Amino acid sequence: MAVIELKDVSKLYGFGNATTLALDEINLTIESSEFMAVMGPSGSGKTTLMNLIGLLDKPTNGSYTLDGRYVSRLRPNQQAKLRRDRIGFVFQSYNLLPRLNVLENVALPLAYRGVTPMRRLQKASDTLERVGMRDREYFMPRNLSGGEGQRAAIARALINSPSIIIADEPTGNLDSGSSKVVMELLADIHRQGNTILLVTHNPELTRYANRVIYMVDGVIVNDEKTAIGQVARGTRRTYYQKPRMSDDEIAEGVSVLMREAPSIALKAKAKGRRRRKLSKRKYRQ
């Protein structure tokens, strides 16, 4: 069953000459209990896509259906409620509130749901148990290691039992050991039936996903199903088989993914050529 359905979704920022097209007519259907990794160079629209799906933002054009409900034109308060009940966010920088202790941080989404304080803390404690952080309940966020902070953030995302977890580079600030712990945790949550959207730059992490999409300049250029436990083919090709960057390219600050959007990059080129042809034809007429 499709949980998320995007049809011709575009997002524009700014206006006049400064308009940027962050998403260009995206069509995307995400099935329930998919673990989807989103890859692509910086500025390719990954985060914008996640914000739209997470109802933090509204598309400029196109329609978004969440669980069969048309949600692209909801009022901010209705969005907030859906966000609270259906979606859990995990951010790169954990985003725990520094003045609350771990337990209170995890319990916070329940407060916005109107759950009584005792129940809220009880449930937060149970959720912390689930991520193996029971013994850190009364720590302040600044006293946690990076991995612990991210696990607490995951507990907070989980506490309302949302069907969708959106993780925007959750391991971006973590060392490899902590990354592994966090990713195993997400994999575990996925096994229990949640849909997980993971934005990442690290091709190794596509091992946890069963679907990988690549984005370049607001367009999905590749979309592949992959087996859990294996690095996705397109990624493998890009990172391990294509020639490395030349020194000049490194000096120019061009990343592999910027130069080399796998396989579909060629299609995109073709598309561009066709467009140019079309416009020429128009010009002649």
Partner 1 sequence: MISDLKIALSNLRTARWRSFLTMLGIIVGIASVVTVFSLGEGLKRQLLGQIDELGTDLITVRPGKLVSRGDSGQVDSLNPLALLGTTTLSEQDVIALQRSSSLQAVLPMSLITNTARSSNEPNREINDAFIIGTTAELPQLIKHRIPYGEFFTAEQQDRNYAVIGSSVAARLFNELNPVGQSVNLAGGDFVVRGVFEPFSSGIFSTIGADLNNALFVPYDVAKKVTQGRSQIFQILVQKKPGVGLESAVASTHGVLLVTHQGREDFSVLKQEELLDISSGIINLAAGFISAVAAISLLVGGVGIMNVLLAGVSERTREIGIRKAIGATNRQILQQYLMEGVVLSFVGSLVGLGVALAANFLLRVYTSLKPVISPSIILVAVGVAFAIGVIFSAAPAFKAARKDPIDALRNV
The footprint of partner 1 on this chain (CB under 8 A) covers a number of residues equal to: 25
Contacts of 240 (CB under 8 A, 6+ apart): none
CB of 115 or CB of 185, closer to partner 1: 115
160 in contact with partner 1 (CB under 8 A): yes
CB of 113 or CB of 271, closer to partner 1: 113
Q: Which of 45, 54, 59, 203 binds partner 1 (CB under 8 A)?
A: 54
111 in contact with partner 1 (CB under 8 A): yes
Please, what is the Cα angle at 11 between 7 and 13, to 5 degrees? 175
Q: Which of 8, 85, 129, 175 binds partner 1 (CB under 8 A)?
A: 85
Q: Which of 12, 21, 74, 108 binds partner 1 (CB under 8 A)?
A: 108
CB of 46 or CB of 211, closer to partner 1: 46
CB of 160 or CB of 202, closer to partner 1: 160
Q: Which range of residues in 14-22, 64-72, 75-83, 201-209 is near partner 1 by CB under 8 A?
A: 75-83
Q: Which of 17, 99, 253, 283 binds partner 1 (CB under 8 A)?
A: 99
Q: Which of 77, 176, 241, 285 binds partner 1 (CB under 8 A)?
A: 77
Q: Which range of residues in 52-60, 122-130, 217-225, 266-274 is near partner 1 by CB under 8 A?
A: 52-60
CB of 282 to partner 1, least distance (A): 37
Is 253 in contact with 57 (CB distance < 8 Å)? Answer: no
Work out whether the CA dihedral 166, 157, 206, 43 comes out positive or negative: positive
156 in contact with partner 1 (CB under 8 A): yes
51 in contact with partner 1 (CB under 8 A): yes
113 in contact with partner 1 (CB under 8 A): yes
Q: Which residues bind partner 1 (CB under 8 A)?
A: 51, 54, 56-57, 76-77, 80-81, 83-85, 89, 91, 95, 97, 99, 108-109, 111-113, 117, 156-157, 160
